[in-house]
Amino acid sequence: MQTPILVIGATGNIGRVLIQRLLQQGRLVRAATRHPERYPAHPGVTPIYFDYEQPDSFAPALAGIKQVFAIAGPASTGVTLPFSPFVAQIQRAGVEHLVLVTTMPILRSDGLHLWDEVEQPVLQAGVPCTFLRPNWFMQAFVDSFMATMVKQGRLCVPAADARISLIDARDIGEVAAALLTAEEHRTHAYTLTGGEALNFTEIAATLAHASGRSVEYHHEPLETLGVTELNAAGGTMTPIKNLTYLFKTLRQGSFAEVDPTVERLIGRPPTTFAHFANEHAAVWQTEPSPQPTRSA
């Protein structure tokens, strides 16, 4: 009997594509989500409750599972705090392969990689793991504060003229599907980027062309917004100081690398930002939300 693959984050941009690709390959899927009752019924997919903040959900989700796909969120989301217990449960469950999404290397002030707290427990546990380290998602222009800025015609972030090789999160789902169905990729780490490195002036021009709006890029500190935290992506509120550090890292050139791994693994070039923007043009054509209000 075929063993299902556990996909954590089944309803996200990555998870949806991953599940679709796995089903096309004839694999069974256990779709982990905080709201399994809302998951649409589909042959070959069994929804199950899972929440990183609820350790009691780990064992039932992992029962009988040999392969797992997971996404480790940044420390600001709280996901990294219970991740070590999750890794321990993976080890106890006898999981044979974990595909884990972290991020491109970001150095902390102490010189350590920002994601050591996530990756090191996996390595120390001896769980066979493929680390996926993607660049910033293109979806940040759809589901974060930057989407509101685009609607208002002023993309105001402290990026200077730095370049970034944005990646479509859906491409990561395709990569993960390729890795989960081929044993030779176990115990590897892959950097995942888009196929071009754009600066924010070019990004703004692309968004303007797709949306039909006037969009200009302005290099401005996020602190000028007068708030202490912002919606970083997907509804996750992140402290301004964390986002400011990410943009500082961006200005240092840490996200400008263009890596060929995506095309090598999925057999086609990564999605271009122009294509992504044209697909999502309607997002920026709606009426803009009010500017953030100043914190008390």
> How many DSSP H helices and E strands does the chain contain?
12, 13
The first and second tokens of residue 259, run together, are: 């890596």
Are 5 and 22 in contact by the 8 Å Cβ rule? The answer is yes
**What's the pTM?**
0.92
- The pLDDT assigned to 234 comes to 72
Reported as a single tens digit per residue, the pLDDT across 234-288 is 777 888 988 898 899 899 999 999 999 999 999 999 999 999 999 999 999 987 6
Reported as a single tens digit per residue, the pLDDT across 204-243 is 999 999 999 999 999 999 999 999 999 887 777 888 988 8
Give dist(CA 239, CA 250) in Å, integer: 17
Reported as a single tens digit per residue, the pLDDT across 67-85 is 999 998 654 444 455 578 8
The runs of H, that is alpha helices, within 98-144 are 116-125, 140-143
The runs of H, that is alpha helices, within 181-237 are 200-211
Q: Which residues of 247-276 are buried (b: 16+ CB within 10 A; e: fewer)?
A: bebbeeebbbeebebbeebbeeebbbbbeb
